[in-house]
Chain A
Protein backbone atom coordinates (compact mmCIF):
# COMPACT_ATOMS: atom_id res chain seq x y z
CA UNK A 1 0.00 0.00 0.00
CA UNK A 2 1.11 3.57 -0.63
CA UNK A 3 1.47 5.43 2.67
CA UNK A 4 0.39 9.05 2.73
CA UNK A 5 1.88 11.24 5.47
CA UNK A 6 0.57 14.73 6.19
CA UNK A 7 2.27 17.42 8.19
CA UNK A 8 1.52 18.97 10.46
CA UNK A 9 -1.16 16.83 12.13
CA UNK A 10 -2.64 19.97 13.64
CA UNK A 11 -2.21 23.65 13.06
CA UNK A 12 -3.39 26.81 14.80
CA UNK A 13 -3.82 29.89 12.67
CA UNK A 14 -5.71 33.17 12.51
CA UNK A 15 -8.19 34.56 10.03
CA UNK A 16 -6.24 36.12 7.19
CA UNK A 17 -3.18 33.90 7.62
CA UNK A 18 -1.55 32.01 4.76
CA UNK A 19 -1.42 28.30 5.57
CA UNK A 20 0.39 25.41 3.91
CA UNK A 21 -0.23 21.71 4.53
CA UNK A 22 2.14 19.09 3.19
CA UNK A 23 1.44 15.55 2.02
CA UNK A 24 4.17 13.04 1.22
CA UNK A 25 3.67 9.71 -0.55
CA UNK A 26 5.79 6.65 0.17
CA UNK A 27 6.45 6.27 -3.57
CA UNK A 28 5.92 8.35 -6.65
CA UNK A 29 2.26 8.86 -7.50
CA UNK A 30 2.79 11.33 -10.35
CA UNK A 31 -0.04 13.85 -9.99
CA UNK A 32 -2.64 11.38 -8.70
CA UNK A 33 -3.20 13.33 -5.50
CA UNK A 34 -6.40 14.95 -4.27
CA UNK A 35 -7.33 17.14 -1.31
CA UNK A 36 -10.52 17.10 0.76
CA UNK A 37 -11.96 19.29 3.50
CA UNK A 38 -14.05 17.76 6.26
CA UNK A 39 -16.07 19.61 8.87
CA UNK A 40 -17.42 17.91 12.01
CA UNK A 41 -20.36 15.62 11.31
CA UNK A 42 -20.10 16.12 7.55
CA UNK A 43 -18.78 14.13 4.62
CA UNK A 44 -15.46 15.13 3.08
CA UNK A 45 -15.64 17.68 0.28
CA UNK A 46 -13.33 17.63 -2.74
CA UNK A 47 -11.19 20.77 -2.97
CA UNK A 48 -8.32 20.00 -5.34
CA UNK A 49 -7.94 17.13 -7.81
CA UNK A 50 -4.92 15.90 -9.71
CA UNK A 51 -2.61 17.87 -7.43
CA UNK A 52 -3.40 21.36 -8.68
CA UNK A 53 -6.87 21.57 -10.19
CA UNK A 54 -9.50 23.52 -8.30
CA UNK A 55 -12.83 21.71 -8.04
CA UNK A 56 -15.78 23.70 -9.35
CA UNK A 57 -17.27 26.00 -6.72
CA UNK A 58 -14.20 25.97 -4.45
CA UNK A 59 -12.85 29.43 -3.60
CA UNK A 60 -9.69 30.49 -5.38
CA UNK A 61 -7.85 31.03 -2.08
CA UNK A 62 -7.28 27.25 -2.14
CA UNK A 63 -4.46 25.98 -4.31
CA UNK A 64 -2.45 22.81 -4.68
CA UNK A 65 0.94 21.95 -6.08
CA UNK A 66 3.43 19.12 -6.36
CA UNK A 67 4.08 15.90 -8.20
CA UNK A 68 5.90 12.66 -7.56
CA UNK A 69 6.03 12.24 -3.79
CA UNK A 70 5.64 15.76 -2.33
CA UNK A 71 2.51 17.88 -2.44
CA UNK A 72 1.16 21.00 -0.78
CA UNK A 73 -2.23 22.53 -0.14
CA UNK A 74 -2.17 26.28 0.41
CA UNK A 75 -4.90 28.54 1.71
CA UNK A 76 -3.88 32.07 0.83
CA UNK A 77 -6.00 33.97 3.35
CA UNK A 78 -7.85 31.93 5.94
CA UNK A 79 -11.53 32.56 6.34
CA UNK A 80 -13.65 31.49 9.35
CA UNK A 81 -15.29 28.71 7.34
CA UNK A 82 -11.91 27.15 6.50
CA UNK A 83 -11.33 25.79 9.99
CA UNK A 84 -11.72 22.07 9.41
CA UNK A 85 -9.72 18.89 8.88
CA UNK A 86 -7.93 18.39 5.57
CA UNK A 87 -7.03 15.06 3.97
CA UNK A 88 -4.90 14.11 1.00
CA UNK A 89 -5.64 10.94 -0.99
CA UNK A 90 -3.79 9.06 -3.71
CA UNK A 91 -5.41 7.39 -6.69
CA UNK A 92 -2.19 6.10 -8.30
CA UNK A 93 -3.13 2.55 -7.39
CA UNK A 94 -5.32 0.42 -5.14
CA UNK A 95 -5.98 0.37 -2.33
CA UNK A 96 -6.84 4.06 -2.32
CA UNK A 97 -5.19 5.60 0.72
CA UNK A 98 -5.62 8.83 2.64
CA UNK A 99 -3.31 10.88 4.78
CA UNK A 100 -4.03 10.90 8.50
CA UNK A 101 -5.49 14.39 8.32
CA UNK A 102 -4.48 17.90 9.35
CA UNK A 103 -6.77 19.66 11.80
CA UNK A 104 -6.78 23.40 11.25
CA UNK A 105 -7.86 25.27 14.36
CA UNK A 106 -8.46 28.88 15.23
CA UNK A 107 -5.64 30.56 17.14
Chain B
Protein backbone atom coordinates (compact mmCIF):
# COMPACT_ATOMS: atom_id res chain seq x y z
CA UNK B 1 0.00 0.00 0.00
CA UNK B 2 1.44 3.32 -1.08
CA UNK B 3 1.83 5.86 1.72
CA UNK B 4 2.87 9.50 1.63
CA UNK B 5 4.16 11.47 4.60
CA UNK B 6 4.82 15.20 4.70
CA UNK B 7 7.50 16.65 6.95
CA UNK B 8 8.64 20.16 7.70
CA UNK B 9 8.25 23.08 10.07
CA UNK B 10 4.86 23.94 11.44
CA UNK B 11 5.59 27.60 12.19
CA UNK B 12 7.19 30.12 9.89
CA UNK B 13 8.05 33.81 10.14
CA UNK B 14 6.85 36.15 7.40
CA UNK B 15 9.28 36.45 4.47
CA UNK B 16 10.91 33.07 5.20
CA UNK B 17 11.10 30.20 2.71
CA UNK B 18 9.03 27.10 3.46
CA UNK B 19 10.66 23.72 2.87
CA UNK B 20 8.51 20.59 2.95
CA UNK B 21 9.41 17.03 2.04
CA UNK B 22 7.10 14.20 1.09
CA UNK B 23 8.38 10.66 1.61
CA UNK B 24 6.79 7.92 -0.48
CA UNK B 25 6.73 4.38 0.89
CA UNK B 26 5.18 1.11 -0.22
CA UNK B 27 5.83 1.77 -3.89
CA UNK B 28 8.19 3.34 -6.37
CA UNK B 29 8.25 7.06 -6.99
CA UNK B 30 8.99 6.38 -10.66
CA UNK B 31 6.54 6.97 -13.52
CA UNK B 32 4.12 9.18 -11.63
CA UNK B 33 3.47 12.87 -11.15
CA UNK B 34 3.84 14.14 -7.59
CA UNK B 35 1.91 17.19 -6.50
CA UNK B 36 1.63 19.66 -3.68
CA UNK B 37 -1.85 20.90 -2.77
CA UNK B 38 -2.80 23.25 0.03
CA UNK B 39 -5.96 24.09 1.96
CA UNK B 40 -6.43 27.17 4.13
CA UNK B 41 -8.54 26.56 7.21
CA UNK B 42 -12.20 26.24 6.30
CA UNK B 43 -11.53 26.72 2.59
CA UNK B 44 -11.10 24.66 -0.56
CA UNK B 45 -8.19 22.92 -2.23
CA UNK B 46 -5.52 24.78 -4.19
CA UNK B 47 -3.07 22.97 -6.45
CA UNK B 48 0.46 24.35 -6.08
CA UNK B 49 2.33 22.32 -8.66
CA UNK B 50 3.78 18.95 -9.61
CA UNK B 51 6.89 17.16 -10.69
CA UNK B 52 7.39 14.08 -12.83
CA UNK B 53 10.08 11.63 -11.86
CA UNK B 54 12.16 12.82 -14.81
CA UNK B 55 12.35 16.17 -13.04
CA UNK B 56 9.99 18.13 -15.29
CA UNK B 57 7.79 20.54 -13.35
CA UNK B 58 4.48 22.30 -13.76
CA UNK B 59 3.45 25.13 -11.43
CA UNK B 60 0.28 27.05 -10.74
CA UNK B 61 0.80 30.47 -12.37
CA UNK B 62 -0.57 32.12 -9.23
CA UNK B 63 2.46 30.87 -7.25
CA UNK B 64 5.00 30.17 -9.97
CA UNK B 65 7.39 33.00 -9.05
CA UNK B 66 7.74 31.65 -5.50
CA UNK B 67 7.62 27.85 -5.96
CA UNK B 68 10.25 25.21 -6.57
CA UNK B 69 9.46 21.49 -6.55
CA UNK B 70 12.25 18.92 -6.73
CA UNK B 71 12.54 15.14 -6.59
CA UNK B 72 15.10 12.73 -5.15
CA UNK B 73 14.32 9.34 -6.64
CA UNK B 74 17.11 7.65 -4.66
CA UNK B 75 15.29 8.55 -1.43
CA UNK B 76 11.75 8.19 -2.80
CA UNK B 77 11.13 11.80 -1.81
CA UNK B 78 10.00 15.03 -3.40
CA UNK B 79 10.10 18.50 -1.94
CA UNK B 80 8.43 21.90 -2.02
CA UNK B 81 10.05 25.28 -1.48
CA UNK B 82 7.80 28.34 -1.22
CA UNK B 83 9.55 31.65 -0.76
CA UNK B 84 8.47 34.97 0.73
CA UNK B 85 5.84 33.42 2.96
CA UNK B 86 3.00 35.60 4.27
CA UNK B 87 0.01 34.99 6.48
CA UNK B 88 -1.96 34.19 3.32
CA UNK B 89 0.19 31.07 2.90
CA UNK B 90 -1.04 29.63 6.21
CA UNK B 91 -2.68 26.32 5.29
CA UNK B 92 -2.57 22.55 5.53
CA UNK B 93 -0.15 21.34 2.86
CA UNK B 94 -0.75 17.96 1.25
CA UNK B 95 1.41 15.90 -1.05
CA UNK B 96 -0.38 13.63 -3.51
CA UNK B 97 0.26 11.17 -6.33
CA UNK B 98 -1.18 11.71 -9.79
CA UNK B 99 -1.14 8.95 -12.37
CA UNK B 100 0.75 9.53 -15.60
CA UNK B 101 -0.62 6.64 -17.62
CA UNK B 102 -3.51 5.08 -15.74
CA UNK B 103 -5.29 8.38 -15.18
CA UNK B 104 -4.60 11.92 -14.06
CA UNK B 105 -6.30 11.83 -10.70
CA UNK B 106 -4.94 12.07 -7.16
CA UNK B 107 -5.22 8.54 -5.84
CA UNK B 108 -2.90 8.73 -2.84
CA UNK B 109 -2.52 11.63 -0.42
CA UNK B 110 -0.40 12.39 2.60
CA UNK B 111 -2.15 13.17 5.87
CA UNK B 112 -1.29 16.85 5.52
CA UNK B 113 0.86 19.17 7.57
CA UNK B 114 -0.29 22.49 9.01
CA UNK B 115 2.00 25.41 8.24
CA UNK B 116 1.33 28.65 10.11
CA UNK B 117 2.97 31.93 9.12
CA UNK B 118 3.11 34.34 12.01
CA UNK B 119 5.55 36.73 13.63
Interface residue? B104 (CB, 8 A): yes
CB-defined A-B contacts under 8 Å, sample of 22: A1-B61, A32-B104, A34-B105, A36-B106, A44-B106, A45-B109, A46-B105, A50-B105, A87-B44, A87-B45, A89-B106, A91-B98, A91-B103, A91-B104, A91-B105, A94-B58, A94-B60, A95-B59, A96-B35, A96-B50, A98-B45, A98-B46
Q: Which residue of chain A has its CB nearest to the CB of B49?
A: A95
- How many residues on chain A are close to B (CB under 8 Å)? 23
Provide the residues of chain A in CB contact with B49, threshold 8 Å.
Answer: 95
Provide the residues of chain A in CB contact with B98, threshold 8 Å.
Answer: 91, 96
A34 to B103 Cα, complex, angstroms: 10
A interface, CB within 8 angstroms of B? 1, 32, 34, 36, 42-46, 49-50, 55, 87, 89, 91, 94-101
Given contacts A91-B98, A96-B35, whether A46 and B106 have CB atoms under 8 Å apart is yes
Which 3 pairs between the two chains have the least Cβ-Cβ distance? A91-B104, A43-B109, A96-B47
